[in-house]
Amino acid sequence: MKFDKPATTNPIDQGKVIGKATDRIDGPLKTTGTAPYAYERHDIVPNQAYGYIVGAGIGKGTIAFLDDSAARKAPGVLAVVSAKNAGKLGKGNFNTARLLAGPEVQHYHQAVAIVVAETFEQARAAANLIRVDYKREKGKFDLAAAKDSAIKPTPQGGFDPIPDTAVGDFAGAFASAPVQLDTTYTTPDQSHMMMEPHASIAAWEGDKLTVWTSNQMIAWSKGDIAKTLGIPKENVRMDSPYIGGGFGGKLFIRADILLAALGAKAAKRPVKVALQRPLMPNNTTHRPATIQRIRIGATKDGKITAIGHESWNGDLPGGGLEVAVQQTRLFYAGENRMTKMRLATLDLPEANAMRAPGEAPGLMALEIAMDEMAEKLGMDPVEFRIRNDTQVDPEKPERPFSQRRFVECLRTGVERFGWQRRSATPGTVRDGRWLVGMGVAGAFRNNLLTKSAARVRVDPRGIVTVETDMTDIGTGSYTIIGQTAAEMMGVPLDRVVVRLGDSDFPASCGSGGQWGGNNSTSGVYAACAKLRDAIATKLGFDPAQTEFVDGQVRSGSRRVPLAEAVGDAEMVAEDQIEYGDLDKKFQQSTFGAHFCEVGVDRITGEVRVRRMLAVCAAGRILNPKSARSQVIGAMTMGVGAALMEELAVDKRFGFFVNHDLASYEVPVHADIPHQEVIFLDETDPISSPMKAKGVGELGICGVAAAVANAIHNATGARVRDYPITLDKILGTLPVVA
């Protein structure tokens, strides 16, 4: 189905199932511990052995000598695989050549070998017997030191961004602006710490490979593992029905998948691998640190005349940009504009996607800058943002937003949060020993359109089954896909079976980029629409005049139960959603406003978040219950980014020091107060037949800046280097009387 204009009639608009707060249909499995996560699928294939990965002990250099003889002789060991016996590996689309070191070592904890044994304990013990001698080389591990040598990368197509943009005369407009801001902000490296580590079971049957894994993008990864192993794509099957958190860290195949496959081939046994927690920060991908310079020029009445945003980040050779300027290109008005991104070579683990890549760290800087500019102007920060709203793409004024209700998000938040009680003078509101402040930040995240397919069946009992390789990373995909099929086919949700994550199913959009909910359900919509037409035609009905309601197929005065309409054999339809040039005609984005109140201990500098509010405008909310869960989870991540999350880099030897859950701090329940979420009641007919967009990543965008702005309002401390730890606040606190 091609969707290039709003549908005149749309079964989704009935709203009987879609848009209703619905318990997750996979909830009982997860709460009883029976959901089949990758490593726990003990019965999926017999005779499973255990793999244990050995990580490199240097940040850059080569393997001079690797002796695995003692490991091979250890009790229970079935195989040891390293670069010296892995065979030639191909280069996949997503940096798979980096997954196994040898002889070159590109980063600390890069996989050096896998030991396969009868038990996990035997594999671990034998792994400690492998002797590796390295030739260490001098590496680059400091973004600030490498900043001046950063390059302007050339886009290679696909998702690669344009590094530089310019509209009007930024330099001239900024120089002549009556009020100016020119400030630099930094954000640190941050790590994925999802509950389920990267885990896979691999099994060979002849030259065919099956991998049961934890992966967000099945179609991408199936192609990449085939390229890497040098086998036909049709010889690979990937299955990932349940994922215990992804956040971008499981978008691509990682060492667990590749080494499980190599280990299984060498051992001639199915092999299961779970990446040990201390390896995850350095072995897998992370959000890279940024240095961001923002310049804003405005008139004295608060109209932006010039806005410029430059960002630097680092990555391994051939790596990519953290697109931290993306939102600045679209968020606020201003005739004269400039953005630049530069990439430095760093010999740290691979930098890549982490929840809301680009906008999350970009808004950590931009939304403090907007507050600083409002302060210079003597304006309320909410009013300053409203004054610079735009209903068109500020780089391409001929292209309007499909919907943009940012101002309504702000005004709704002002009323609900009690913003009028905020003191404009920092450090003046106290509650005992606590200095109390409020902060606000805008939220922005693009709505991305990508094709997505599904297969829908109806059997003679009237049971509807949906099959698609879409994944559920804890986001509620099972439920919204089930709701879509139930609405389209006119049956209750309990008459729908949803099967996900298998590469044998039609290729979906996958989970990532906040595009999963809107596009995957649109693919299901397309398949259901095709099946509806087939059923109506079989009954001799005019498809355009046929309704599927309450388990019946209706046309005029005729009523036929769905099961009877199907007959003795199931009916099946498969289709995919494809978009025309809507994204070229309209700018599609999601918007929000975050409000935060903090208390700061005036003696110790301890920060306590007291309450939070998010107001979101993101098209039709398909399941308000799971959407709220997504947003409060994102808000929690935003608090972590603001106050505690930071991968500490050892700049001598090139590794992240705090590489486990014991030393990498994340928020706990005691850190998070009451969180309120408001979804504006809206549908966006331009976005898709579902009229939805996405909200899971919008929820983190701007949160850290709202916390930072609240701390400033409480104390007068303007911290521009995240995370905002006690040492950065203490020196600015008022003297205790």
The answer as to whether 152 is a domain residue is: no
* Average of per-residue pLDDT across 683-705: 97
pLDDT on residue 9: 83
Are residues 709 and 658 both part of a single domain?
A: yes
Q: Is the pLDDT of residue 629 over 90?
A: yes
pLDDT on residue 155: 85
* Average of per-residue pLDDT across 57-70: 98
Angle at 273 between CA 188 and CA 120, to 5 degrees: 115
Domain final residue, candidates 283, 310, 329: 283
Are residues 234 and 93 both part of a single domain?
A: yes
Are residues 417 and 466 both part of a single domain?
A: no
At 197-237, the pLDDT tens digits run 999 999 999 999 999 999 999 999 999 999 999 999 999 99
* Average of per-residue pLDDT across 143-168: 92
pLDDT on residue 522: 98
The confidence band for 442, taking pLDDT boundaries of 50, 70 and 90, is very high
- Assign residue 87 the CATH number of its domain: 3.30.365.10
Are residues 595 and 542 both part of a single domain?
A: no
The secondary structure element, H or E, covering residue 565 is helix 562-566
Average pLDDT in the chain: 96
**Residue 595: which of 382, 374, 332 has the closest Cα?**
382
Are residues 573 and 596 both part of a single domain?
A: no
Whether cis (ω within 30° of 0) applies to the bond prior to 397 is: no
Q: Is the pLDDT of residue 394 over 60?
A: yes
At 506-518, the pLDDT tens digits run 999 999 999 999 9
At 458-505, the pLDDT tens digits run 999 999 999 999 999 999 999 999 999 999 999 999 999 999 999 999
Are residues 475 and 419 both part of a single domain?
A: no
End-to-end CA, the chain? 70
Are residues 442 and 464 both part of a single domain?
A: no
The answer as to whether 318 is a domain residue is: no
Q: Is the pLDDT of residue 361 over 80?
A: yes
Candidate list 322, 367, 467, 697, residue with the active-site label: 697
Percent of the chain with pLDDT over 90: 95
Exposure string (b/e) for 257-273, b if CB count within 10 Å is 16 or more? bbbbbbbbbbbebbbbb
Are residues 669 and 700 both part of a single domain?
A: yes
Task: Please give the structure tokens belonging to residue 102.
Answer: 């040898």
In angstroms, the CA 233 to CA 469 distance is 15
* Average of per-residue pLDDT across 363-391: 98
At 555-603, the pLDDT tens digits run 999 999 999 999 999 999 999 999 988 888 999 999 999 999 999 999 9
The answer as to whether 608 is a domain residue is: yes
Are residues 439 and 455 both part of a single domain?
A: no
In angstroms, the CA 588 to CA 650 distance is 41
Q: Is the pLDDT of residue 271 over 80?
A: yes
Q: Is the pLDDT of residue 12 over 60?
A: yes
Structural domain that includes position 622: 393-447+588-737
Are residues 490 and 403 both part of a single domain?
A: no
The confidence band for 734, taking pLDDT boundaries of 50, 70 and 90, is confident
Are residues 15 and 125 both part of a single domain?
A: no
The answer as to whether 675 is a domain residue is: yes
Number of domains in the chain: 3
The answer as to whether 357 is a domain residue is: no
Q: Is the pLDDT of residue 523 over 70?
A: yes
At 102-138, the pLDDT tens digits run 999 999 999 999 999 999 999 999 999 999 999 999 9
pLDDT on residue 501: 98
In angstroms, the CA 394 to CA 337 distance is 9
Output phi, psi for 431, to 5 deg. Answer: -135, 90
Q: Is the pLDDT of residue 41 over 80?
A: yes
Domain final residue, candidates 283, 308, 338: 283
- Tell me the CA distances in angstroms from 477 to 27, 124, 355, one per residue in order: 12, 36, 17
Question: Can you list the positions of beta strands (E) in 251-318?
Answer: 271-274, 286-287, 290-298, 304-315
The answer as to whether 385 is a domain residue is: no
The confidence band for 643, taking pLDDT boundaries of 50, 70 and 90, is very high
The answer as to whether 299 is a domain residue is: no
Q: Look at residue 286 and give its three-state secondary structure.
A: strand
pTM: 0.97
The answer as to whether 260 is a domain residue is: yes
Q: How many helices (H) and strands (E) does the chain have?
A: 17, 34
pLDDT on residue 93: 86
Task: Please give the structure tokens belonging to residue 356.
Answer: 């809301």
pLDDT on residue 737: 55
697 is catalytic: yes
The confidence band for 736, taking pLDDT boundaries of 50, 70 and 90, is low
HSE of 298 in the Cβ direction (CA atoms, 13 Å)? 25
The β-bridge partners of 151 are 343
Are residues 125 and 235 both part of a single domain?
A: yes
pLDDT on residue 97: 85
Task: Please give the structure tokens belonging to residue 243.
Answer: 């994922």
Relative to beta strand 271-274, strand 236-239 is unpaired
The confidence band for 99, taking pLDDT boundaries of 50, 70 and 90, is very high
At 608-621, the pLDDT tens digits run 999 999 999 999 99
In angstroms, the CA 114 to CA 51 distance is 6
Cβ neighbours for 225, distance < 8 A, ≥ 6 positions apart: 92, 96, 209, 211, 236, 238, 253, 257, 258, 261
Domain final residue, candidates 233, 256, 283: 283
The secondary structure element, H or E, covering residue 714 is helix 703-715
The β-bridge partners of 443 are 592
477-489 and 516-538 helices, crossing angle to 10°: 30
